[in-house]
């Protein structure tokens, strides 16, 4: 019996013209193990394990990969790991948050935004990044309205260095503002937290992209006995027409295959 895959379920990423798998691979665990909120510890995988994980993701029909400068060495590792297969992937990266010596700091200036994107292009060994999101510190509206980051991303899009932009934020107001002027909002939406649902509603009505972070509540969900938390989580997500894809940051091949099989089953019933 062949394993279920997501090849048949690729869908538009809003109105960017890109098509993405309904699950994306988050890569924080490829580059950073400090200051991350997971219920169990983990070891950053070596190159061979990382290469196998990416190959498995591709075979399972995943074409979306999520990284960020704040994910430690993630971007620098992905460059070499994706050599020769760049066109197979839709890459999402971020700007605004830097993580150094165990601490995050934020810079949303025009100069830093441009420098950060150009550094990501070098690290990822590519001439374009499909989607760059502002890595918010929580002050979503202030960042979008008072800083130069969004306008700079719009310029980088015109220059062809990025194909779309948006916000990975923490508030409804920020998500809505981000979608008015940009292509995508990355929101938290799971069985425990649904406050940002109005952003999904807006995206569905206006043809904008939604990427869901913490879809499985970073592994913290507890339900009634006998209920599969992964299935219940994805059923909630994919019941909403605004959702383009859910980013899941696993480095466990079994978890990855289980997630893919679950999503394929849910979408196959729709």
Which tokens in the block code for residue 210? 């939604």
H or E stretch including 268? helix 253-269
| Three-state SS letters, 80-132 | HHCCCCHHHCEEEEEECEEEECCEEEECCCHHHHHHHHHHHHHHCCCCCECEE
Task: Name the packing angle between helices 47-59 and 253-269 (round to 10°).
Answer: 10
3-state SS assignment for residue 223: coil
| DSSP per residue, 34-50 | SS---SS------HHHH
Residues in the chain: 270
- Return d(Cα 3, Cα 9) in angstroms, integer: 15
CA distances from 131 to 44, 168, 182, 235, 261 (A): 25, 11, 11, 26, 26
Q: How many CB atoms within 10 Å of residue 241? A: 11
H or E stretch including 121? helix 110-123
DSSP category for residue 220? T
Residue 38 catalytic? no
Going by their DSSP bridges, the two strands 184-188 and 165-168 should be labelled as: parallel
Q: How many CB atoms within 10 Å of residue 39? A: 8
CB within 8 A of 127, min separation 6: which ones? Answer: 121, 161
Active-site position among 38, 71, 150, 202: 71
Catalytic residues: 71
């Amino acid at each position: 019996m062949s394993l279920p895959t997501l090849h048949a379920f690729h869908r538009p990423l809003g109105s960017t013209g890109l098509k993405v798998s309904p699950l994306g691979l988050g890569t924080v665990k490829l580059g950073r193990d400090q200051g991350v909120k997971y219920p169990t510890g983990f070891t950053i995988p070596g190159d061979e394990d990382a290469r196998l994980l990416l190959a498995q993701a591709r075979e399972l029909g995943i074409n979306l990969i999520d990284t960020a400068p704040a994910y430690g060495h993630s971007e620098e590792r992905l460059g070499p790991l994706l050599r020769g297969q760049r066109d197979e992937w839709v890459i999402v990266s971020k700007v605004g948050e830097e993580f150094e010596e165990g601490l995050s700091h934020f810079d949303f200036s025009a100069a830093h935004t441009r420098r950060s994107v150009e550094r990501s292009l070098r690290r990822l060994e590519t001439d374009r990044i499909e989607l760059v999101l502002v890595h918010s510190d929580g002050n979503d509206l202030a960042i979008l309205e008072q800083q130069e980051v969004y306008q700079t991303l719009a310029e980088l899009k015109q220059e062809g260095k990025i194909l779309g932009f948006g916000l990975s934020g923490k508030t409804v107001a920020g998500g809505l503002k981000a979608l008015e002027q940009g292509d995508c909002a990355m929101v938290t939406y799971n069985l425990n937290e649904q406050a940002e649902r109005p952003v999904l509603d807006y995206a569905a009505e206006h043809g904008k992209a939604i990427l869901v972070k913490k879809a499985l509540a970073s592994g913290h969900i507890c339900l009634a006995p006998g209920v599969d938390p992964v299935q219940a989580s994805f059923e909630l997500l994919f019941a909403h027409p605004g959702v383009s894809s859910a980013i899941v940051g696993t480095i466990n091949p079994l978890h990855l295959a289980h997630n893919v099989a679950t999503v394929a089953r849910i979408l196959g019933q729709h």
